[in-house]
């Protein structure tokens, strides 16, 4: 049985109870590590957080939630993406407080994808803009988290949200433009 099928089996067999972490971790660790490594490759030079540490911290957060239930593989990886996002934001905030007294910098993202390398200050600007998007359109914000922080494909997100892949891509394009406008506004551009 493939790991994907095994993950689904474990989640389905839990029937609303906690999934046994000792069964789930060996199956998802490699994929979580790959997602974290890809995300960390987009971080600024000098990043002190390593992909392995990011995976371990994310796992501790999602597996340690006694009330957390995952309906399927996509739901689990969306939760992992959100945990990684929060860890990176907390790390960026901590470093920003220590280095710059919490000041923000001007962001030039003309022609760049949101997933390009971003220093800590840009991650904080993105998080602030994402919080505003969450208030206006929670589904678009979820798509950004799953795609940008979780490395999920449009098809995986579509399956998880119960919409078409075209809808996800359209909402992703809108969300990127919206976030860029908000980041520029916050940066004083």
Strand, coil or helix: what is 23?
A: helix
With tokens 């929670």, the residue in question is: 138
What is the domain extent for residue 18? 3-187
Count of residues for the chain? 189
pLDDT of the chain, 189 residues: tens digit per residue: 456 667 667 666 654 455 566 667 777 777 888 777 777 776 665 566 777 888 888 888 887 765 666 777 777 788 888 888 888 888 877 776 655 544 455 545 444 444 443 466 777 788 889 899 999 999 999 998 888 877 888 998 998 889 999 999 999 999 999 998 888 888 775
pTM as predicted: 0.55
Answer for the pair 58, 83: CB distance below 8 angstroms, yes or no.
yes
Distance CA 121, CA 153 (A): 26
User: Residue 144, class by beta-carbon neighbours within 10 Å (0-12 exposed, 13-18 middle, 19+ buried)?
Assistant: buried
H/E stretch holding 125: helix 120-136
For 101-164, where are the alpha helices, taking DSSP H only? 120-136, 138-144, 154-161
- What domain count does the chain have? 1
């Amino acid at each position: 049985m493939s790991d994907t099928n095994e993950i689904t089996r474990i989640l389905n067999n839990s029937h609303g109870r906690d999934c046994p972490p000792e069964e789930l971790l060996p199956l998802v660790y490699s994929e979580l590590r790959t997602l974290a490594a890809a995300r960390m490759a987009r971080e600024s030079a000098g990043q002190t957080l390593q992909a392995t540490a990011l995976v371990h911290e994310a796992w501790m957060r999602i597996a340690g939630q006694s009330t957390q239930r995952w309906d399927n593989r996509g739901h689990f990886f969306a939760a992992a993406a959100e945990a990684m996002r929060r860890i990176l934001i907390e790390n960026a905030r901590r470093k920003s407080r220590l280095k710059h007294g919490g000041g923000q910098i001007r962001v030039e993202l003309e022609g760049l994808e949101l997933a390009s390398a971003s220093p800590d200050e840009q991650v904080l600007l993105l998080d602030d803009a994402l919080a505003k998007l969450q208030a206006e359109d929670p589904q678009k914000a979820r798509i950004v988290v799953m795609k940008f922080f979780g490395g999920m494909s449009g098809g995986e997100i579509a399956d998880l949200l119960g919409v078409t892949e075209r809808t996800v891509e359209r909402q992703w394009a809108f969300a990127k433009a919206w976030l860029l406008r908000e980041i520029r506004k916050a940066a004083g551009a």
